[in-house]
Structure 1
Amino acid sequence: MTSSCKVLLVDDQPANLIALKATLGELDCTLVLASSGEEALRHALTSEFAVILLDLQMPSMDGFEVARFIRERENSKRTPIIFVTATGPNDFPVEEAYAFGAVDYMTKPLNSTVLLSKVSFFIDLYRKSAELARIQQKEHAAALAEKNARIRLILDNARDYAFIIMNNSGQIMEWDGAAQDITGWQASEAIGKDVAILFTPEDLAINRPQTELECAAKTGKANDKRWHLRKDGTRFYADGVMIPLEDEQGKLHGFAKMFRDDTQRKLIETERERLLREVQLANERLTDIFQQAPAFMCVLRGPDHVFEMVNDRYLQLVGKRDLVGVPVRQALPDVEGQGFFEMLDGVYQSGQPFIGSDLRITLQEPDGRITERFVDFVYMPLRDEQDAISGILVHGIDLTQRKHAEQAWRASEERYRTVIESIDEGFGIIEVMFDQDQNGIDYRFLEVNAAFQKHTDLENVIGKTEKELVPDQDPFWSATYGKVALTGQAARVTSKATAMGRWFDVYATRIGSDGSHKVAILFTDITDKKRAEEDLRRLAAELSEANRRKSEFLAVLAHELRNPLAPIRTGLELMQLGRANPASTQRITDMMERQVTHMIHLVDDLLDIARITTGKIDIKVQRLDLATVLSAAVEATMSSIQAGSHELTMNVADEPLMIDADSTRMAQVISNILTNAAKYTPSGGKISLSAYREGEHAFVTIADNGMGIPAESLPHVFEMFSQVGRNMGKSQGGLGIGLSLVRQLVELHGGTVTVSSEGSGKGSAFTIRLPLAQAAFDNRPAGLRLSNAVHAPDRKFRILIADDNVDAANLLSSLLEMNGHLTATANDGHQALEMMREFAPEVAFLDIGMPGLNGYEVAIQVQQATDLDPVVLVALTGWGDQKDRLRSQEAGFDHHLTKPVSLIAINKLLLQLAELQSAMSG
């Protein structure tokens, strides 16, 4: 049988079209390929297709636009469309797709079996429909019956969808496709029954089956997205449609209901919504706790102590409004000079909490009145994710009312009653009962205030004993009050009343002279405060863990610095003995250079992490080809790769991959990952480096067949101080900051970095994604090679080296003299100025931190001196931030070099000076 139908395949990626053609090539049909939406529309205008596979995301015209134009043509308005998308099932816009007449959608990567099944179905349906139309025209009943049988055969073979045909009243006439598998009803059981057997009791209560039939008849389609019932009573979530069936005269003669089981996706979506609701409720509860706390609380942010959160108790304390967003000194100027602002500054700077008890604070009310408050409070420092202090939590209790109550009680019995009844704290007068050994065993309530019940939940206590009210009460309270009654010494007690499930802060004092068994108690229910303290202790534990990690890091840092220092010291001792031959001396110096380079790398990584954390890193962005970065990174790490006898393979796209980036920083990123691959891959391993383009991004993948990463360690690979090898007992050294630095540098460039591994011993792969530049260059330089080699200039200079480190000054002097330069050294600022006049250097390398006069001061005096010849000033310092370079420039330095400086950098600088002088003299 020759092909009598066509299938249109639309995708803007040629590779995807080839894959679709290969998968569907066995079908008896003509495959028409289109690489854009415009080309697909041209085919749709001239041909008729059994089905269209349409990619959703295309550059100039997406799948939905193409579908809309296809539906506007009469001969293609009913052509089945299957959308193909890389979007996950939860994110695919199903309703929008069906609105454009889609019959299905599939997600990439495509399952070839499912694809063949679905396309075969619509090809057969197309052919059978055409044949059915021809048979209807000839009014051949036998052919029509055969056609229906074939259609049923097709429907029975549909694996995903259930197809149900009903008459006008909803009675099931046909039961095909996956209907039996999804619902549990066999065709023989379902045919003849009302479609209502699939609907839930809730839908039946509102006559949903009839409503959907009416909606489909009226609008031409009714979405079928709801919970249905299986035969066994369990529920499944149906995703489909119901459409009306009409004869050639347009008369309604039934309905077709098509759906699939989408329960799993619905359950996932429902669970996600539930979790979101729980998170929202948790946040609301935390806010309620903060606002309803009996203590005053506020959160201050930054060194200026800006109000971020304030609860009502705090507003009641200070008598202010509109505090949020205002610095504390501006919001509360009347507190200036009372020491509280200085306490806040001290906590923020030291990181140590401050606890204040019974402190007096003077405030000015909005109406101008001056009031005094007495408070107990805690200033607790808050830290961010980098363990830096970011703010202060203020938490305390307003003791003013208690203070007033105590003073009023002692001052006047008459005023006592009014004050006691107005305070928030609980108050009572008790009579202690003793045993024969004068131990307090119980007490009777003689008098209580109105707040007593609020703090204890005890009612009608007058005349009753504590044991009558709380039979299981702790003996501690009776003993404590008995001691107060016997000795006359007041007591301040904070303890838990276990039988009541509450914590109390109690002040107890004897009433009357010796022999009186009456005790007055003033107390507060501090249960909520104790819970808050538990939270503070939890925070302290977290801070302790952070301190532990810091200590562990310092130990590792000491270890990593000692490792290279040991061979350096040994090499120096060998050289001092003078017994090494030239070959041995070369090996020793090579070794020392490698160890010093390793130490410099450790220090540079630490500085980079510090700069990124404080937002002070200097990123110099320029338009460059990614191949340039890869070349520099490979060259920088080739010695490590060769030392491990590894095989490095590179696969870089032929097209230019232009990015806007800092070439040095991006090369540092690639080098760090390549170095890790070499370090954690056994000798003779394989490392691959590939770079390619996908859409508007460039991707770099570095893979190895080394020790791999366990699944439980993958989420922590990019964390600070994390070392997978150390956790596996296979540490290769290092501080555990390299990959953290990689991630932060990549993110500063607007990119991402991910890692994957099949587990221990199965290698790992790191993938970096970077945005491509908006406008790419047409050509890339061929044969790109980078080299750090800079030869000494032919021009020889008179050079002064000033450094209080005598060894450093002498060594640099020796290196320069080996290149033919005339040098002199000085070891402090005053000596440097003297040598400026005696030696008359052309170039001066000045250390910044010299005694007497530092490098800045020497540079300023050189600039101001009128009796000195012109000299090029070069700052030689361990400080290399942008602010340090700006300061040296302001002091008069011409150049700024960061220690430890290499001979290559010095030669490069001298070569530039020689070329400049040559150009000026020419």
Structure 2
Amino acid sequence: MAAPVTVEGTQPAQLEREKVNILVVDDLQEKHVVFRSILDELGQNIVSARSGQEALRYILEMEFAVILLDVNMPDIDGLETASLIRQYKKSSQTPIVFITAYVDERQAKRGYALGAVDYIPSPVVPEVLRSKVRVFVELFRMNRQLQQQAAAREALARSEAAREAAEDAIHRSDFLAEASQQMSRSLSIEDTIQAMFDVAVPMLADRAILALVTDGAITRIESHPWVAEDAPETMPEGMRAALSRVLDKKSFEIWTDGGNAAAICPLLAGGRVRGALVLFGPRATMDSSRVALAKEVVSRASIAMENARLYTAVQEADRRKNEFLAMLAHELRNPLAPIRNAVHIMQGDNVTQPTMNWARDVIGRQADHMARLIDDLLDVSRIVQGKVVVKPEKLSLASLVERSVEASSPRLAAREQTLRVELPEEHLMLNGDAVRLAQVLSNLVNNASKFSGPNTAITVAASYANGEVRISVRDEGAGIDPAFLPHIFDLFAQADQSLDRAQGGLGIGLTLVKHLVELHGGRVAAHSEGVGRGTEIVVTLPAQVAGGAEVPDASPRARKPASGKAPSRILVVDDLAASAETLMTLLEMEGFEVKIANEGMAALKIAEDFRPDVVLLDIGLPGMNGFEVAHRLRTLPESRDALMIALTGYGEAESRMRSAQAGFDFHMVKPADVNLLLSMLADPQQARRGSKTAKVA
């Protein structure tokens, strides 16, 4: 069968590959360079104009998805240029985005009156500009496809109708063209629904009902004109059954009742049912010509509704992203305040030792809190990109729960909360990643503690049935609003978005839990009877009853320092002076001889004279990066056999792989576990031998 083609003979896939034109109008060359560097990632055709007159010449020759227009230009300013652009039929509907350093209310009103879709302040934020332009590029492509599909269908309609009557074919095509234009005029869902009704009534039917579907269930019913019989509970049983069949089978159906009939047309998008449009009229008018016309209109209505839905989804995603970025800034700044205060206290005169100890503990706790936030963000990023891989091993349920509870005990004790653990009598074994599963349970217990008051109880209970273990974490805390419960595992979702949020957090913990559990072949669910009535999170994982003695705990633990003489020479390479100096002080307090270098060439020169036993090397160095330095150090006889550890903020899989290739023995992510680092430095040769079978995360 021949592939579908548009009126111009262009394949749909070929249309998607064609570059879309984006016009940038600004009198400053440096701004064109900036905009091009920001927008090049979109892979489209960027056209630059240095004046309003040059922009008008391009508009006469080319079609643009969006015009980025500077307000202040020497010959014709941006507002005058926009007015002239709107006078051309080809560009009368082209989206215009004004770029300006300042806009007053009067200027804004005039700009929007000329059809501007947005004002972007200068200097622009690259991610914001790129995101907004991407939306207009996609909408332009969708609109082109819609227009070309409409043109193809119009041509088909003309050829079919020509056999019957030429005048009827012209009337039909004109109606479809007008219908397409009317329904695609706005990207608002409400406006698109109203346009759909205006097209359908009275041309196609006396009355129309629109049923919208979410996840297979009808969530909204609208009708025009509205009558009580259109409500789902009062709809005739036969019509309700026909509507259910159409939604289930995704196929058109005509329902009749005496002298009346209803054409029930599914609204499809990408093979998914988004709803159905029901057209009522006298049975005699539902002939083949009317039905065919109704199907065409509904096909175009489906595209218009999907465009509006996608645009709304993009706007919602942008809103949630902005909320998350604001919350991230808030959560990262919070620990900085006590750290800064503690440092100021430590710098005071006559500070007592108890006060110094207290300030040190404050700094340690807040630094740990920031590290956990950053680790969660990195985990979410890896999961979204599909880069998280679990390492299954045999482990017992009892040891997993014990380790998870142990990690959460300080938090519970600080809030004077009681933890109850209820495990089954059977000795259950799991096949999973001990670190990741412990992260899941600790996360759930910490969440329960965070959202529960003092002197409350938290219960961790497990039960076994049908080859699965069911682990529940139940609290007596704040509970969850039923309206928010279906979104509790969504990324960045938080029930409380107010400025006085008492508990903090980024809304990513439960997303991590869900993905990690699913990577183990399990599932997770949340239950709550409402606000103030507590919450229960249930994790279900494959498990089996152990046949013999308990399998030893295989989870990684920090190695204890080996007895023997500690190394005397350590080279620290880090371009951040504060990081290098504090690490040197720490190591010198442990009895090591330490030299520091702030860039690669200095490190190589020092290594030749110092002959280090250990090299702690940052990757992000100026000039020669850490991978190159490591490779060069491995070629020097003075440092060839040194224990080499990458101590860096880069923790993704690619950096770890490059570390191994460059000659590093271990790859540690900042802030490193000090106890683990010291245990490795105690016997570097033993640590190097151990690196053949294990790498440090």
TM range (shorter): 0.5 to 0.7
- State the Cα distance separating 1:561 from its structure 2 match: 0.4
Q: Is the 8 A contact 1:623 1:660 kept in 2?
A: yes
TM-superposed deviation, 1:757: 1.9
Separation in structure 2 between the aligned mates of residue 616 and residue 593 of structure 1, nearest angstrom: 30
What residue is the counterpart of 1:855 in the other structure? 626
Which of residues 626, 631, 644 is equivalent to 2:415?
644
| Residue correspondence of structure 1 range 286-325 to structure 2 within 5 A | 312-314=4-6, 317-318=8-9
- Partner of 1:766, secondary structure, is strand
Q: Offset at 1:317? A: 3.7
| Equivalent pair of 1:317/1:398 in contact (CA under 8 Å) | no
Alpha-carbon offset, residue 908 of structure 1: 3.1
Give deviations 1:653-673, integer Å, cap 9, x for gaps. 233211111111100000111
CA 347–627 in structure 1, closer or farther in 2 if over 3 Å, else same? farther
Residue 681 of structure 1: SS of its match in structure 2?
coil
Distance apart, 1:617 and its partner CA: 0.7
Could you give the per-residue CA deviations for residues 378-415 of structure 1, whole angstroms, max 9, x where no partner exists?
A: 99xxx9xxx9x999965427999xx9xxxxxxxxxxxx
Contact 2:613 2:684 in 1 (8 A): no
TM-superposition CA deviations, 1:258-305 (whole Å, max 9, x none): xxxxxxxxxxxxxxxxxxxxxxxxxxxxxxxxxxxxxxxxxxxxxxxx
Per the alignment, residue 796 of structure 1 pairs with 566
Asked if 1:805 is matched to 2:553, the reply is: no
1:351/1:558 CA distance change after superposition, 3 Å: farther
Determine the C-alpha separation between the residues in 2 that align with 1:901 and 1:864. 27
Q: Distance in 1 between matches of 2:645 and 2:441?
A: 32
Alignment pair present for 1:626 and 2:318: no
Quick one: which of 779, 787, 790 aligns to 2:549?
779
**Counterpart contact for 1:702–1:767, Cα < 8 Å:** yes
- Identical counterparts, % of pairs: 32
Inter-partner Cα distance in structure 2 for 1:840 and 1:878 = 26
Matched, 1:539 2:287: no
The answer to whether the 8 A contact 1:691-1:699 is kept is yes
CA shift, 1:717, in A, is 1.6
Give deviations 1:314-359, integer Å, cap 9, x for gaps: 3x54466xx8xxxx58xx9xx99x867999xx99943999999986
1:782-823, CA deviations, whole angstroms, 9 ceiling, x for partnerless residues?
999997684586532211100000110111111111111111
Q: Which residue of 2 is the match for residue 895 of structure 1?
A: 666
Partner-residue secondary structure (3-state), 1:712:
coil
Once the 2 structures are TM-superposed, how far is the Cα of residue 895 of structure 1 from its aligned partner? 1.3
Query: Per the alignment, in what secondary structure is the counterpart of residue 347 of structure 2?
Result: helix
- The answer to whether 1:350 aligns with 2:98 is no
In the alignment, which of 533, 537, 540 is matched to residue 769 of structure 1? 540
Deviation at 1:626?
1.7
Question: Secondary structure at 1:724's aligned position in 2?
Answer: coil
Normalising by structure 2, report the TM-score. 0.59
Separation in 2 of the partners of 1:318 and 1:342?
A: 25
Q: Classify 1:357/1:863 alpha carbon distance in 2 versus 1 (closer, same or farther; 3 Å).
A: farther
**Cα displacement (A) at 1:780:** 1.6
Q: State the one-letter code of the partner of 1:812.
A: L
2:521 matched to 1:750? Answer: yes
Task: For 2:481 and 2:443, locate their aligned partners in 1 and report how far apart those are by CA, in whole Å.
Answer: 20
Q: What amino acid is the match of 1:675?
A: N
CA contact (8 A) 1:605 1:737 kept: yes
- SS state of the match for residue 445, structure 2? helix
Aligned runs of 1:656-667 on 2, under 5 Å? 656-667=427-438
Question: Quick one: which amino acid aligns to residue 408 of structure 2?
Answer: T
Q: CA deviation at 1:451?
A: 6.6
Q: Is 1:720 aligned to 2:491, yes or no?
A: yes
Corresponding residue number in structure 1 for 2:144: 396
**Equivalents in 2 of 1:618, 1:822: separation in Å?**
39
Paired letter, 2:593: L
Which structure: greater strand fraction? 1
1: distance between equivalents of 2:680 and 2:476? 43
- Tell me the secondary structure at the aligned position of residue 565 of structure 1: helix
Provide the C-alpha distance between the structure 2 equivalents of 1:716 and 1:683, rounded to a whole number of angstroms.
27
Q: What is the distance in 2 between the residues matched to 1:422 and 1:725?
A: 54
| Aligned-pair CA distance for 1:713 | 2.4
Residues 755, 766 of structure 1: 8 Å contact kept: yes
Match for 1:828 among 599, 603, 607? 599
Q: What is the deviation of 1:772?
A: 1.1
| Contact 1:803 1:847 (8 Å CA) reproduced | yes
Q: Give the whole-Å Cα distance in 1 for the aligned partners of 2:329 and 2:463.
A: 41
More displaced stretch, 655-664 vs 797-806: 655-664
Q: What amino acid is the match of 1:396?
A: R
- Greater mean alpha carbon deviation, residues 662-671 or residues 614-623: 614-623
| Rounded Cα–Cα distance in structure 2 between residues aligned with 1:918 and 1:733 | 43
Q: Which runs of 5+ in 1 are unaligned?
A: 1-309, 361-374, 404-420, 426-447, 459-495, 503-524
Worse-superposed segment, 688-697 or 827-836: 688-697
Matched, 1:548 2:548: no
1:526 and 1:705 mapped to 2: Cα distance? Answer: 54
* Amino acid in the other structure paired with 1:874: I
Q: Matched residues in 2 for 1:763 and 1:449: separation?
A: 69
Q: Is the 8 A contact 2:21 2:45 kept in 1?
A: no
Say which SS state the counterpart of residue 484 (structure 2) adopts.
helix
- Helix, strand or coil at the partner of 1:874: strand
Q: Tell me what 1:219 maps to.
A: none
Q: Does structure 2 conserve the Cα–Cα contact (< 8 Å) formed by 1:801 and 1:846?
A: yes
Deviations 1:84-110 (A, max 9, x none): xxxxxxxxxxxxxxxxxxxxxxxxxxx
Query: Are the structure 2 counterparts of residues 692 and 585 from structure 1 closer, same or farther at C-alpha, using a change threshold of 3 Å?
Result: same
Structure 2 unmatched runs, 5+: 24-37, 48-58, 64-89, 96-130, 160-165, 177-197, 205-295, 691-697
* Contact 2:680 2:687 survives alignment (8 Å): no
Counterpart-to-counterpart distance in 1, 2:689 and 2:382: 39
1:872 maps to 2:643: yes
Q: Counterpart of 2:483 in 1: which secondary structure?
A: helix
1:602: Cα distance to partner?
Answer: 0.7
Matches within 5 A, 1:76-95: none
Question: Could you say which residue in structure 2 is the equivalent of 1:886?
Answer: 657
* Residue 346 of structure 2 is aligned to residue 598 of structure 1: no
Aligned partners of 2:628, 2:489: CA distance in 1, in Å? Answer: 44
* Separation (CA, whole Å) in 2 of partners of 1:902 and 1:882: 19
In structure 2, C-alpha distance between the alignment counterparts of 1:822 and 1:703, rounded to whole Å: 52
RMSD: 4.7
The alignment partner of 1:671 has SS state of helix
Q: Secondary structure at the match of 1:396?
A: helix
The code of the aligned residue for 2:548 comes to: D
Residue type of the alignment partner of 2:550: R
Distance 1:499 1:755 in 2: 45
| Contact 1:791 1:904 survives alignment (8 Å) | no
Aligned pairs for 1:127-526 (under 5 A) are 312-314=4-6, 317-318=8-9, 349-350=41-42, 394-396=142-144, 452-456=170-174
The 3-state SS of whatever aligns with 1:660 is: strand
Indicate the residue corresponding to 2:508 in structure 1: 737
Map Cα deviations across residues 208-261 of structure 1 (whole Å, 9 max, x no partner).
xxxxxxxxxxxxxxxxxxxxxxxxxxxxxxxxxxxxxxxxxxxxxxxxxxxxxx
Residue number among 581, 590, 599 corresponding to 1:819 in the alignment: 590
The residue identity in structure 2 corresponding to 1:583 is P
Query: Residue 172 of structure 1 aligns with which residue?
Result: none
Q: Secondary structure at the match of 2:419?
A: strand
The one-letter code sitting in structure 1 at the alignment partner of 2:42 is S
Q: In terms of mean alpha carbon deviation, does 578-587 or 798-807 score higher?
A: 578-587
